[in-house]
Every structure is written in C-alpha cells, then in structure tokens.
Amino acid sequence: MMHYMLLFSRQGKLRLQKWYTSHSEKAKKKIIRDVMTMVLARKPKMCAFIEWKDLKIVYKRYASLYFCCGIEQQDNELLCLEIIHRYVELLDKYFGSVCELDIIFNFERAYFMLDEFMLAGEVQETSKKNVLKAIAAQDLLQEECDEPKSLLEELGVISTGLE
C-alpha cells in the first residue's frame, strides 16, 4: 500500500501532496521536509530507492519535478516506478504535453486524476483509457452545471432553482 505521494520542484516547492494514511498537520510537515531533503540530496546516478524509517521511498525525476512515493516494506519498488510513470502518462494525455506550470495552475485537476487512478493507496484502474474516460465524463458534468447563465441569474438575484 502506498502511504503518500509527493510532487515537488528542484527548488523545494511542493506541487502536490496526497496522503493515504492519516497524520496530523505537524507530522505531515515533518515528513515532507525530511523526504524533500533526502531526495534533493541524491546525485543523478544514484538508484531511485531509499530506505527510510519503516518505509521505502521511491522517487523519479521528470524534467524539473520530483515524483516521490512512500511504500511499505513488502511492496515492489519497480511496480511503484511503473505507477509513477503511468500517472505521468495520464497527466500528459490529459493536459497535452504536461509541464510543471500545468500542474501549478490546474492543481485540482491533477488531484482528480490521481483520485481516478489510485484509491486508498492501491491502483484503482489499470487501463489508461478507462481513467481518462471517467475524468472526461466528470469534466462534462461540471460544464453542464456551469452553463452560462444570465448575469442576474449568476448574481443570485433571480433563482434558477439549482441552489
């Protein structure tokens, strides 16, 4: 089971944090700080696995972003690398040639994508097509809800019965 997934830039700015276990805010902050220091200190030629406390940290660097996961001792590290890669592929397909800025400005979509791919720390859907289909359907649902209304409706003066 994956315990958490973190995305951060080379400068140490956090871009995404997804936790599959419950921690207090203070504990989360400490973990993020420690993991970031450890991973950013690694040289390029080193292997992508670090043993830390009772977890294994698996990380991979794509351009300027580090994708970092904390998995349990019995989990397969190579599989975790595959998971990271699959997630990047999904983001790439969705945003079209994804870059860090996409994730910065549309961070909630990155979260939604992750929520379709993984649930409770396990892989939810192994088919890329199905994940993208679900995301597209939900986007459509959002657009239908957000159909352009008249200004007065928007301001809530005239009720549309939707709120």
Partner 1 sequence: MALVRVKGVLDHVLDKNLQDLVRGIRNHKDTEGKYISECIEEIKQELKQESLVVKANAINKLVYLQMLGYDISWAGFNIVEVMSSPKFTFKRIGYLAASQSFHDGTDVIMLTTNLVRKDLNSTNTYDAGVALSSLSCFMTGDLAHDLANDIMVLMTSTKPYLRKKAVLLMYKVFLRFPDSLKPAFGRLKEKLEDPDPGVQSAAVNVICELARKNPQNYLSLAPLFFKLMTTSTNNWVLIKIIKLFGALIPLEPRLGKKLIEPLTNLIHSTSAMSLLYECINTVIAVLISISSGLQNHATSVQLCVQKLQILIEDSDQNLKYLGLLAMTKILKTHPKSVQAHKELIMQCLDDKDESIRLRALSLLYGMVSKKNLMEIVKKLIVHMEKAEGAHYRDELLSKIIGICSQNDYRFITNFEWYVSVLVELAAHKGMKPAQGRAIANQLLDVAIRVQQVRRFAARQMSLLLRNHTFDKQRGGGGSAGLVEVLYAAAWICGEFAVCLAGDEESEDARRATLEAMSLPYVLQLPGEVQAVFVHNQVKLYANLLLAESDAEERVALTTELLTRLEQFVHSEDLEVQERAVCAHQLLKCTAKALRQAAASKTAAIFDVGDVATEDGAGSTAEADGDAVIDRVAKELSGLFAGELNPVAPKAQRKVPLPEGLDLDAWINEPPAPPKSEFDEPVKRKSGKSSGRKKEPEAAVSATVGASASGATNYSSSDPTVAWGGASGGGFEQKEYH
Determine if 141 is a binding residue for partner 1 (CB under 8 A).
yes
Contact region with partner 1 (CB under 8 A), list: 62-70, 89-97, 134-142: 134-142
CA distance 111 to 15: 11
Q: Which is nearer to partner 1, 54 or 108 (CB)?
A: 108
CA nearest to 62, candidates 102, 98, 18, 115: 98
DSSP for 101-143, written as a single string: HHHHHTHHHHHHHHHHHEETTEE----HHHHHHHHHHHHHHHH
Q: How far is the CB of 64 from partner 1 (least distance, A)?
A: 15
Give me Rg for the CA atoms of the chain. Answer: 19
Task: Mark residues 25-54: x for contact with partner 1 by CB under 8 A, - for none.
Answer: x---x--x----------x-xxxxxxx---
**Member of 52, 62, 95, 111 binding partner 1 (CB under 8 A):** 111
CA-CA distances (angstroms) from residue 56 to 59, 74, 76, 102? 10, 9, 10, 29
- Residues near partner 1, by CB under 8 A: 1, 14-17, 19-20, 22-25, 29, 32, 43, 45-51, 74, 76-79, 81-82, 104-105, 107-108, 111-112, 115-116, 119-120, 122-127, 130, 134, 137-138, 141-142, 145-146, 154-157, 162-163
